[in-house]
Amino acid sequence: MSTIVDTTEGVMTIRFDRQEKKNAMTAAMYAAAADALERAAEDSEVRALLFLGREDFSAGNDIADFLAAGAMHAKIEDLPVVRFLHRLVACEKPVLAGVNGVAIGIGTTLLLHCDGVVAGASARFALPFVPLGLVPEAGSSLLLPRVVGRNRASWLLLSGERFSADEARAMGLLAEVVADGEVESRARAMAAQLAALPPNAIRTTKRLIRGADSSALAAAMGAEFAAFADAMRSEEARAAFMRFLTKG
């Protein structure tokens, strides 16, 4: 099973578990994660959510699965990744993440929607949308400049250049950097800390933090989805995907 979900002491853990592919995300994995977020929203016993990966966090979208599933020709709103992102954005419970290894593409952009992220010292991040003939997703065109500054965000989104955990923390993407072997324990401690707090106060505070960003984020994601759909059907993307698959 590629996405493992369990709930212990009020914390729902969503673990990406496809290490032979560095947890590259398939349509089935997105669907399972979206289902888990929907269950969490309705379950009062779930007080916090925690994303983890087996060894690596996630190498981003599995391009072969992406193509096999017909994503290049599907309506963008029908894709499981879109349902997952909508559920993630709508989540009113604390969302945390523990990052080891690589966090590529969605492995980095989903962190922008978390309320606390801890990463291992050797973790590496990248946003290689443009090199793949694609465009930013998950609201990163809006959120990343607000977190790291416009100039640095532009460079990271345009170049796809990798960056380290220490660099990510200095930019404001991470709360903490710890030894690689301590990531899960520290992330679980952070999740447990927030899960123990008054849920109504948590929910209201998250709404206040989002504030006017909620409508701006919805607009940005809508524009990204439309641009992403166009980009997926482009010759640039087809050529980039073929180069990637041949290289792989």
**Domain of 121, in residue numbers:** 3-182
- Quote the CA–CA distance of 7 and 195 in Å, as a whole number: 12
- Could you tell me the pLDDT band of residue 177, with boundaries at 50, 70 and 90? very high
Give percent of the chain above pLDDT 90.
Answer: 79
* Position 212 in a domain: no
Pair 187, 118: CB distance under 8 Å: yes
Lowest mean pLDDT among 63-67, 173-177, 232-236: 63-67
* Position 236 in a domain: no
36-74 pLDDT tens trace: 999 999 999 999 999 999 999 999 998 777 766 555 555
- Could you tell me the pLDDT band of residue 231, with boundaries at 50, 70 and 90? confident
Residue 232 has a pLDDT of 80
* Residue 212 predicted with pLDDT over 90: no
- Could you tell me the pLDDT band of residue 230, with boundaries at 50, 70 and 90? confident
* Position 217 in a domain: no
- Could you tell me the pLDDT band of residue 185, with boundaries at 50, 70 and 90? very high
Residue 119 has a pLDDT of 99
The average pLDDT across 226-248 equals: 78
CATH of the domain at 150: 3.90.226.10
* Position 201 in a domain: no
Give percent of the chain above pLDDT 70.
Answer: 93
Domain count for the chain = 1
Residue 64 has a pLDDT of 79
Residue 70 has a pLDDT of 54
Residue 189 has a pLDDT of 98
* Position 230 in a domain: no
- Could you tell me the pLDDT band of residue 153, with boundaries at 50, 70 and 90? very high
* Position 172 in a domain: yes
- Quote the CA–CA distance of 95 and 99 in Å, as a whole number: 13
Half-sphere exposure of 31 (CA within 13 A, CB side): 8
Residue 78 has a pLDDT of 74
Residue 228 has a pLDDT of 86
68-89 core/surface letters (b: 16 or more CB in 10 A; e: else): ebebeeeebeebbbbbbbebbb
* Position 225 in a domain: no
The number of beta carbons lying within 10 Å of the beta carbon of residue 52 is: 22
* Position 234 in a domain: no
